[in-house]
Structure 1
Amino acid sequence: MYAMHIALGGCLKAPPVSYGLTEDTGGHIAYVLGAAMAQVDLDPSNHVDIVTRAFDAPELGAVHAQAEEAVADRCRILRLRTERSDYLSKSALEAELPALRRAFCDMLAAMPRRPDVLHAHFADAADLARHAGTRFGIPVVYTPHSLGIDKGACGHRDDALEARIAAEAQTLRASDAIIVSSRDEAERQVESYGIRCGGRVHCIAPGSMLTETDAAGTSGAEARIAPFLRDLRKPMILAIARPVHKKNLVALVQAYASNPALRDRANLVICAGLRDGIESGNAEQREVITGLLAAMDRHDLYGHMALPRRHSPSDVVQLYRLAAQGGGVFVNPALHEPFGLTLIEAARFGLPVVATDRGGPADIVERIGHGVTVDPQDHAAIGAAIERLIGDRAAWSKAARAGKERAGLYDWTRYAARSVALYARLCGKSAPRPRLVPRSILASDIDATLTGSASGAARFSAWARERSCGYVVATGRSIGEAQRVLAEWDLPRPDTFITSVGTEIWSEDPKGRLTLDMSYAEKLDAAWPRAELLRAIADLSEDFAITPQAPLEQREWKLSYFGSAASALLLDRTLEMLRFDVRVIASHGRFIDVMPRAAGKANAVAHVAARLGLDLSHCIAAGDSGNDRDMLMACGHAIVPANALPELDDLPSGPRLLRTAERHADGVLEGLARIGRMPRPMPRFAHGDSGTLAVPS
């Protein structure tokens, strides 16, 4: 695989990188370098180039004028040269895009071998990738990193921002695939553009290039902050961010200053980019630094707050370590944070976090469990959250342990494997799936049906490679989450995705891109008074003891709530009395989903079957919970694995509905064997993965 990343802004060079050297030298550069180096390490045959812009600015480093720079074996940086040779901020790059586009296409035209895939970072780089992709027939992958709509929500929207938003929308429409880092990016940020691209959005979490073994000790960090602080022994409140308004650093100073107990107990250390003085940097940087210094002076924080002018990569490592050793906390108070790489870095060092609840940090903190999220505009809440973590040693220790234990969930090797597999699908280099005209279809739930046993999932994958029937997943998860979970469990991609409890159907187009089945969507739309339903359920929610699930769980044709099975039954009857023709589904003892009458897993499976000239009698359903009930009852055969929830106990067993002795994917395989969809009977064996399933060889 030969992949080419494109990232035009900031000071991109081989490590070490001086992050914060300019306002655009931030986390996206760590992402590009981490991705590229992990991708070449994945396979000795992989080659990765990184394309950026050349400029002459000795004060930023002579290396940025070099046409080529080695990063690692089989990985290099290539720099595009145009007539404009000075450093340009991201906002100034737009005028240079036509020249960069020509330079990029000329470079590709002269190459003896062109890349298999172009991976663009930000919409300006995607402009180059789109033109080159069209000219040379190369698929384009896009990673937004930060989207203009969210930036606009944090402040004034001007003509430049509107142009950026339009460019991002065009890129989302045109890209063959979109890689994002968090569910918030996938299902809120990207979807806010109103473009039906969910099937092309892949949530692949990046890793961190910092490790506990980097820059041993803490002496460098202590020397950096000691001149500012009276008592280095106090716990440290640490923030590391570029000096831009959306990072909300002045609010952190105000939160600290307005909490007397916190001021007395801890020191505040803010690393806000790199500067030579108050007047260095662009206008926004100067405003932020001036605001920090003014707040420090106004609240008389001398001796309590450190704001070093410069810091090195080794200083950052040692600051994380020093803060963790002293029982401190890392804080990200951004008004909006697309992802939040520093939160993963803090986790690696066992440093608990207090983070903004706007954007990717909510995903990271929920997944790792190493801190709390807060409203970034509530200064009192920020201060109180920090004070609680520092003051409660049990809570601090629990968060610190979680960080160290689970930071590995964000891993560059795992990122490389998934991203390269995606590249391979896009350029036709992945292993072919069975091409068949199925006479039957397996429609299986994912969670706890196919997942739950790694070895069982591997055996199911072996069956899927040689299967003679169609394979569909039918899940309550969104399309992005369904793809993520299948990839994390190394489960095979299905022929079709039925997602969001049977309210969305996604199938591959001729280019291998997942697209929404609009004929099914139009059928649901025809009788779906979503706004009226929302109001009606809101009026009933208190009496019926139901509460809305998180915004990310709400879909175009699905409203999701927390509540008991009894509450679901009461809601169903009441909505029917109110003349709403909808389906109410209870599952897992606490979830309630409301959707059009024409939706649900059974109806979606029937729709998929009809496209193949089949009906539900030709289908095999497999599931473990209440939201699988309709397809288990409707399909010609049904498989209920041994781990199924009690809410399915009332379904009658028999020749059509099989209850298996095995759990999870092994239960599905047992059912398939009993139905005759395996080449020979599967031997029974005790739970614990002893023995071998009889699967096609």
Structure 2
Amino acid sequence: MHDVNNGGDRVFILHLALGGCVHAPPITFGITADTGGHIAYVIDAALTQARSASVDRVSIVTRLFSDSNLSPRHSWSSEYVADGVTIDRIATDDQRYLEKEALAADLVAFTEAFCDHIRRLPRHPDIIHAHFADAAAVAIEAQRRFGIPFVYTPHALGIDKRAQGCADESVDARIDAERAAIIAADSIIVSTHDEAERQLRAYGVAIDGRIHCLPPGVPQRPVPQGAATLADRLGAWLDHPEKPIVLAIARPVRKKNLAALIRAFMLTPALRERANLVILAGQHDRPCSREEQDVLTEMRALAATPALRGSIALPPSHDADDVSALYALAAKGGVFVNPALHEPFGLTLIEAAAMGVPVIATMNGGPCEIVETIGHGLLVDPRDEDAIGRACLAIVGDPARHARLSDAATANVGAYDWKRYATASIAVYASVGAAQPALLACDIDNTLTGCAAGARAFAEWRAGSALPFVIATGRSFDAARAVLRQWRLPEPDAYIVDVGTRLMVVDDAGRWHACPDYAAALDHDWDRSAIARALAPLGIERQPAETDGPHKLSFFGTATDAAHIRAALETTGLKARVIFSHGHLIDVIAPMGGKAAAIAAYAARHGLSLNQCVASGDSGNDVDMLEACGHAIVVANASDELAMLTPRAGLHRVRSRHAAGVMEGLDLLGLTHRVAVAA
């Protein structure tokens, strides 16, 4: 479906990031608990990717919300960032700003709104890059409905949080969501080898061949010129603001271990004599979680002790210029410290390196790799406060060592380069977008039937092809088998029948049976009896009882009747899919059903994704599989119901009718030698 850069087409990339305040730079980090380094990652990645000649546009999709404490720009549906880059915001009924825990409750509504957004686009994105597991859950549904491949970047993983002693239901749920994301992702991009080789493997999911370690680049932080910043106002807190500074920048949460840094500073008198301590711990005047309030209260109490008064600054607010200016000040004999109990990557450490600042960093997680690569600092056990203080003094108290580490920082930070990241990430996108077709799914009526010569050619091709073949039809199982025999068409490897509400597979003894796992999946959010009661007052003619099924109700009617059914279901809040086809058939099926869902389920049994599937059809009940599969063949005799299909790479509208059109499409895909079709 989505051959990235296929045939010279330029790529449409969609980054999906739900949490925090995503807006055009500069970013005010810490304005909310979820407004952290991942936002810089997403925006800098998008900006650099958009400058590639192979990229058409980049859309950063996030939530739309309105909050009087935050910028009104978050209620804009779209925001220009740079040429080829926009931030596009999706609204749900809940337009409050939501922290991570509350965001989970809105995820179902956001997913529906996101899929509606994709459906309305003039062109589907070629790839979705999902950031964190919540975004991956949304991407999984888009993958299921539209066949858009997705790449997952976790940024931080709950399994390490559990290893640090945090074991509760929220952590367990997060780990489950991350495991689902790892399983479903077409590829996974991480920043460190620790994530790739240790953290991800702890989930017990096969990841070989899908994991790519691509370090991000250095966040762009120009040093402000002329404007007064916090670096100029440190005298408001410090008795001797001319001293070098020990600088830390992190959210006020326990895992960032900022109170331990204050205690380390207190326990090291020689360090206090030589330097001041400056900590930017978010924006103190915003609404905070209980944890953040507790951490800030502890930090303020420590700062108020007589030993520290006049040598520590905890500014209550800061902006991007303040951060840049403080990095520049720390480069003059000071040091940057990341004392986190565990740090997945450590973007601030490469920010510091770009400004020539030596670092002290936690030995747990990504900082080990960063410090080893750049060589600009020391690693410490974050639980050893004496060691933190001694390490800071070892750099601040030794000008020659400081100079060596500063030189190493500026000389080696080029290992973290956004251009290199952009090139490599686009190549990853291409590798998942260009999946070779590995399964064919065909409708029967008017797709494989309708032309005896075409049906004969298809049967000849099938006899000599090893490509797995699945029937996907609105007919019942018995009726589907009968019409295949009538047209002398080959038996498939599986039958998807009753408009994608039953998946029929064969056992080792050659007996056909309905896949129980697929049937169980369709039970989710499906109340057949309630739907039947809700639709009865409409008086729309039912099809014969034998056409119904456990996950399907069928009617005769017009497109207007189908619209009335959708309206009735929406009014009652009942969930179902309404499919209008062949100009007079209406099927109301389980919300998790449909031909695309059944193809995905069968493909997954064989280690395949929808992106590796080819679908061919002619009518409205084929729409979902034609949109979702990697390649779609629309035969020339297709009904007007398929006029609404979004033009895209992978959608092939052929010139031949019926099975001859299927053969034409297979030939275009290089899946068959030419089989002559008699006139």
| 1:89 to 2:95 alignment | no
Task: Determine the structure 2 residue equivalent to 1:260.
Answer: 269
| 1:204 to 2:210 alignment | no
| 1:383 to 2:389 alignment | yes
| 1:352 to 2:358 alignment | yes
Deviation at 1:398, TM superposition (A): 1.0
| 1:287 to 2:294 alignment | yes
Task: Determine the structure 1 residue equivalent to 2:139.
Answer: 129
Deviation at 1:381, TM superposition (A): 0.6
Deviation at 1:199, TM superposition (A): 2.3
- One of 148, 156, 161 as aligned partner of 1:146: 156
Mark the structure with the bigger radius of gyration. Answer: 2
Runs of 4+ with deviation above 4 angstroms: 509-513
C-alpha separation in 1, matches of 2:135 and 2:113: 13
Task: Determine the structure 2 residue equivalent to 1:536.
Answer: none
Task: Determine the structure 2 residue equivalent to 1:248.
Answer: 257
Task: Determine the structure 1 residue equivalent to 2:179.
Answer: 169
Deviation at 1:226, TM superposition (A): 2.0
| 1:79 to 2:89 alignment | yes
Task: Determine the structure 1 residue equivalent to 2:343.
Answer: 337
Deviation at 1:44, TM superposition (A): 6.4
Task: Determine the structure 2 residue equivalent to 1:157.
Answer: 167
| 1:228 to 2:234 alignment | no
Contact 1:338–1:360 (8 Å) recurs in 2: yes
Q: Return closer, same or farther for 1:409/1:113 CA change in 2, 3 Å cut-off.
A: same
Q: Return closer, same or farther for 1:226/1:103 CA change in 2, 3 Å cut-off.
A: same
Q: Deviations over 1:178-215 (max 9, x none)?
A: 0000111111111121222132110001012224x431
Greater CA deviation, 41-50 or 248-257?
41-50
Contact 1:221–1:322 (8 Å) recurs in 2: no
1:278-317 aligned at under 5 Å gives the runs 280-298=287-305, 300-317=307-324
1:422-501 aligned at under 5 Å gives the runs 422-428=428-434
- Give the partner amino acid of 1:73: D
Q: Return closer, same or farther for 1:261/1:29 CA change in 2, 3 Å cut-off.
A: same
2:107 match: secondary structure? helix
Q: Return closer, same or farther for 1:299/1:165 CA change in 2, 3 Å cut-off.
A: farther
C-alpha separation in 1, matches of 2:94 and 2:18: 14
- Give the partner amino acid of 2:310: G
| 1:403 to 2:423 alignment | no
1:93 match: secondary structure? helix
2:51 match: secondary structure? helix
1:46 match: secondary structure? strand
Q: Deviations over 1:141-193 (max 9, x none)?
A: 00000111112233432111111100101111111100000111111111121
C-alpha separation in 2, matches of 1:40 and 1:86: 31
Q: Deviations over 1:76-105 (max 9, x none)?
A: 011110111111001111111110110011
Contact 1:426–1:511 (8 Å) recurs in 2: no
Deviation at 1:300, TM superposition (A): 3.3
C-alpha separation in 2, matches of 1:328 and 1:210: 21
Task: Determine the structure 1 residue equivalent to 2:127.
Answer: 117
C-alpha separation in 1, matches of 2:306 and 2:155: 35
C-alpha separation in 1, matches of 2:199 and 2:95: 34
Task: Determine the structure 2 residue equivalent to 1:614.
Answer: none
C-alpha separation in 2, matches of 1:403 and 1:273: 26
Q: Deviations over 1:403-459 (max 9, x none)?
A: 0011111111111000001111111199xxxxxxxxxxxxxxxxxxxxxxxxxxxxx
Contact 1:257–1:299 (8 Å) recurs in 2: no
| 1:101 to 2:111 alignment | yes
C-alpha separation in 2, matches of 1:207 and 1:132: 29
Contact 1:39–1:46 (8 Å) recurs in 2: no
- Tell me the C-alpha RMSD between the 2 structures: 2.0
C-alpha separation in 2, matches of 1:105 and 1:408: 39
Task: Determine the structure 2 residue equivalent to 1:506.
Answer: none
- Give the partner amino acid of 1:261: A
Contact 1:218–1:318 (8 Å) recurs in 2: no
1:210 match: secondary structure? coil
Q: Which runs of 5+ in 1 are unaligned?
A: 431-508, 514-697
Contact 1:224–1:311 (8 Å) recurs in 2: no
Contact 1:216–1:318 (8 Å) recurs in 2: no
Task: Determine the structure 2 residue equivalent to 1:323.
Answer: 330
Using CA pairs under 8 Å that are at least 6 residues apart, name the structure with larger relative contact order, 1 or 2.
2
Q: Return closer, same or farther for 1:45/1:186 CA change in 2, 3 Å cut-off.
A: closer
C-alpha separation in 1, matches of 2:76 and 2:311: 43
TM-score (norm 2): 0.62
- Give the partner amino acid of 2:163: A
TM-score (norm 1): 0.60
| 1:417 to 2:423 alignment | yes
2:219 match: secondary structure? coil
Deviation at 1:511, TM superposition (A): 6.7
C-alpha separation in 2, matches of 1:511 and 1:343: 38
Q: Deviations over 1:440-488 (max 9, x none)?
A: xxxxxxxxxxxxxxxxxxxxxxxxxxxxxxxxxxxxxxxxxxxxxxxxx
C-alpha separation in 1, matches of 2:387 and 2:363: 12
- Paired positions, count: 433
C-alpha separation in 1, matches of 2:78 and 2:49: 19
Q: Deviations over 1:307-326 (max 9, x none)?
A: 0001110110010001112x
Task: Determine the structure 2 residue equivalent to 1:480.
Answer: none
2:106 match: secondary structure? helix
